[in-house]
Chain A
Amino acid sequence: QQQVKQSPQSLIVQKGGISIINCAYENTAFDYFPWYQQFPGKGPALLIAIRPDVSEKKEGRFTISFNKSAKQFSLHIMDSQPGDSATYFCAASRRGNKLVFGAGTILRVKS
């Protein structure tokens, strides 16, 4: 119940394309869903986060879509660029509790 399942494990997208990463959770008590971007040898950086009272949140080229009934959320990266090549982690938590991370998705954007 504490797991967050992330897919795909790796993803190759052409420059300018849309990158889509999906996550699913079981624990309906989760109420905070962030996405982190991590470059090799660096710590994760918060990209965008959402709460279940909204179905979509957009910040620049990054959009989270949230489906409460399906217990799924996804990250869309529009106009993907080579600089977006990194590992992306979804996560979930109940307010005030620890984050549960997905396994990560390695994104490569081909120029």
Chain B
Amino acid sequence: GAVVSQHPSWVICKSGTSVKIECRSLDFQATTMFWYRQFPKQSLMLMATSNEGSKATYEQGVEKDKFLINHASLTLSTLTVTSAHPEDSSFYICSARGGVRAGAGSLTDTQYFGPGTRLTVL
């Protein structure tokens, strides 16, 4: 399948600082990227959907001023957790959906996930 990378894979920061997480589609152009957070032993919770060149659409209950999302190109989206606090500690995962590589035979609805970023706020 298509490859999505995330950077960093883990980050530890002090309370009150901001953290930026990058999500890249390596071998396809992602018209849409999604950001999820996942707590231990729980399912994925969608935070926001972003389309290249437009503002992200946030899920109910997600603070858009706290979780800033930028989707500046067809291969890169970033999530910035501003003024992070210990309760923001979680596993953040992005996914990408969009153009399909020639010959891949994938469904156009397919979301490919990144490896995740473990955020720990002290």
Please, how many angstroms separate the alpha-carbon atoms of A60 and B30 in the complex? 28
A42 is an interface residue with CB less than 8 A from chain B: yes
A46 B112 Cβ-Cβ under 8 A:
yes
> Can you list, as one digit per residue, whether each of B33-60 has a CB less than 8 Å from chain A (1) or not (0)?
0100000011110100100000000000
B44 and A44 within 8 A (CB): yes
Decide if B21 is an interface residue (CB 8 Å cutoff): no
| Residue among B1, B41, B108 with most chain A CB within 10 A | B41
- Contact between B43 and A98, CB atoms less than 8 A apart: no
CB-CB contacts of A22-42 with B at 8 A, as 1s and 0s? Answer: 000000000010101000011
Min distance, Cβ B22 to any Cβ of chain A, angstroms: 14
A44 touches B109 (CB 8 A): no
A99 smallest CB distance to B (angstroms)? 6
Write the A98-110 contact mask toward B (1 if CB under 8 angstroms, else 0). 1101111010000
**Does the CB pair B93–A44 fall under 8 Å?**
yes
- Taking residues whose C-beta sits less than 8 angstroms from the other chain, chain A's interface range is 20 to 34
CB–CB B34/A102 < 8 A: no
Does B110 contact A46, Cβ atoms closer than 8 Å? yes
Q: In the complex the two chains form, is B110's CB within 8 Å of A36's CB?
A: no
**Interface hit among B12-20, B65-73, B82-90, B114-122:** B114-122
Beta-carbon contact of B109 and A32 below 8 Å: yes
Q: Is the CB of B49 within 8 A of A89?
A: no
Identify the B interface with A (CB < 8 A).
Answer: 1, 4, 6, 34, 41-44, 46, 49, 91, 93, 95, 107-116, 118
